[in-house]
Amino acid sequence: MHRLAFTLLPLLWLAPALRAQSAPSPDAPPVSTAPAPAEDAPSGAPVTTLRVNSNLVSIYFTVRDKHGALIPNLTRDDCRVLEDKKEQKIRNFEAKADQPLTLGMLLDTSGSQQNVLPLEQQSGSTFLREVLKPKDEAFLISFDVDVDLLEDYTNNAGVLSRAMNKAVINTAAGNGSAGIPGLGQGTIPTQGAPKGTLLYDAVYLASGDKLRQETGRKAMILLTDGEDEGSKYRVQDAIEAAQKANAIVYVILIADRGFYSGGGIMLGGYTGDAQMRRMTEATGGRVIDVGNNGKRLEDAFGQIEDELRTQYVASYVPQNSDFDGRYRAIEVQCKGDGLRVQARKGYYAVPASEDAP
């Protein structure tokens, strides 16, 4: 097992150092760590900052018909992109079924997952074997009172499966209420409020340290009940980190029903589903609620695989060439009866020069 304490976790307490890291390579997706002026964002809008390389903005998206079926054969003439409600000229339009995929799987190993972890391990292993193609790569992270890198980038689904099967529930001897760093009970020092499920921290770190420097199609899949306890970072920080990495976030909501007083995931002040929907909608992914049903979990993985293999990418040079850091809303529309587009919602236009090392 690799500890993120050696690679990721120091960044948790050194956010300024993370922002000062060297810029992505020229062919990386357009991203930036430059701060965005919050006053320019519409209320409730997702916060992201894109560095526009060569002034080109690229949007990955999927399209479904009114019955929910994926549409795989659209062309440039079928779709249009609007930025701040103004139509843009699409320079490139491609279906990306065969483009290499970089995938991060984040596994919730907190106490609430005690009885569903075996389901996650079995279905997750099957998904990895089926989805990973020769040019793809994936990594595996677990999160509870710690954030651990169980397996680094590899194309070997068997290696990832073995790492996933070694994952264990970690409650730090009290569902996150205790834990002594350095004694095998936590790599993040316990400060302030008790730490139980560092979900937002896991997304933040996976985005910034693992996905951000990668190119092409990138996605994260979270297997969790959606509830965070004790993270240093907020949900908005996690969202922004994923957006800066140009990564799509999918969340499979799965939980041990008995853990929630025998009544189900929505009882007892549970708010995880709302925050997970906020995260996925901002990044172009979605939430799939499977409860604790193994068949529904398998179906959820199948849906995500289909979406990842039925994506389009549309690229354009914005008509507004003034890269002043302001928020710009994006909307992708495709012609057809009842077609629904799943894509990110917008970005902050920051010139590349402002993000230079």
DSSP symbols for 180-196: -TTTTS-SS---SS---
In this structure, are 73 and 121 located in the same domain? no
In this structure, are 109 and 73 located in the same domain? no
Q: Is residue 137 part of a domain?
A: yes
Name the domain boundary from 293, 308, 323.
Answer: 308
Hey, which bits of the chain come out as E strands? 2-3, 50-51, 57-64, 79-83, 86-88, 90-95, 101-108, 137-143, 147-154, 217-224, 248-254, 287-291, 312-316, 327-334, 340-343, 346-350
In this structure, are 173 and 150 located in the same domain? yes
Q: Is residue 26 part of a domain?
A: no
Phi, psi of 319 (to 5 degrees): -60, -35
Q: Is residue 180 part of a domain?
A: yes
In this structure, are 283 and 169 located in the same domain? yes
Sign of CA dihedral 295, 296, 299, 304: negative
pLDDT at 351: 60
State which amino acid sits at residue 94: E
In this structure, are 144 and 196 located in the same domain? yes
Cα–Cα distance measured from residue 204 to residue 150, given in angstroms and rounded to the nearest whole number:
17
Q: Is residue 250 part of a domain?
A: yes
Mean pLDDT per 10-residue segment, the chain (357 residues): 46 35 34 36 46 70 92 93 95 83 94 89 92 93 94 95 92 45 34 70 95 88 93 93 88 76 47 88 92 90 88 92 81 93 80 43
In this structure, are 80 and 113 located in the same domain? no
Q: What is the CATH number of the domain that holds 182?
A: 3.40.50.410
Tokens of 189: 């020092």
CA 162 to chain centre: 23
* Three-state SS at 250: strand
Closest CA to 203 of 88, 112, 298, 108: 108
In this structure, are 72 and 135 located in the same domain? no
Residue 338: other Cβ atoms inside 10 A: 8
Q: In which domain, by residue range, is 218 found?
A: 2-7+98-308
Dihedral through CA 37, CA 38, CA 40, CA 44, nearest 10?
150
Compute CA distances 181 → 147, 175, 186, 192, 196, whole Å. Answer: 12, 15, 4, 14, 14
Q: Is residue 15 part of a domain?
A: no
16, containing H or E segment: helix 15-19
Which residues, including other chains, have CB under 8 Å from residue 258's CB and lie 6 or more apart? Answer: 115
CA 213 to chain centre: 14
Q: Is residue 123 part of a domain?
A: yes
Cα–Cα distance measured from residue 245 to residue 138, given in angstroms and rounded to the nearest whole number:
15
In this structure, are 341 and 236 located in the same domain? no
Beta bridge partners of residue 143, listed in sequence order: 108, 147
Cα–Cα distance measured from residue 329 to residue 240, given in angstroms and rounded to the nearest whole number:
15
Q: Would you say 265 and 255 are in contact if contact means Cβ atoms under 8 Å apart?
A: yes
Residue 63: other Cβ atoms inside 10 A: 23
Q: Is residue 68 part of a domain?
A: yes
Q: Would you say 342 and 70 are in contact if contact means Cβ atoms under 8 Å apart?
A: no
In this structure, are 277 and 336 located in the same domain? no
Sign of CA dihedral 343, 201, 136, 304: negative
Domain count across the chain: 2
Q: Is residue 38 part of a domain?
A: yes
Q: Would you say 317 and 89 are in contact if contact means Cβ atoms under 8 Å apart?
A: yes
In this structure, are 295 and 157 located in the same domain? yes
In this structure, are 192 and 248 located in the same domain? yes
Q: Would you say 70 and 307 are in contact if contact means Cβ atoms under 8 Å apart?
A: yes
Closest CA to 142 of 175, 189, 104, 115: 104
Compute CA distances 331 → 80, 103, 240, whole Å. Answer: 8, 25, 19
* Three-state SS at 201: helix
* Three-state SS at 212: coil
In this structure, are 57 and 183 located in the same domain? no
What is the C-alpha end-to-end distance of the chain, expressed in Å?
A: 33
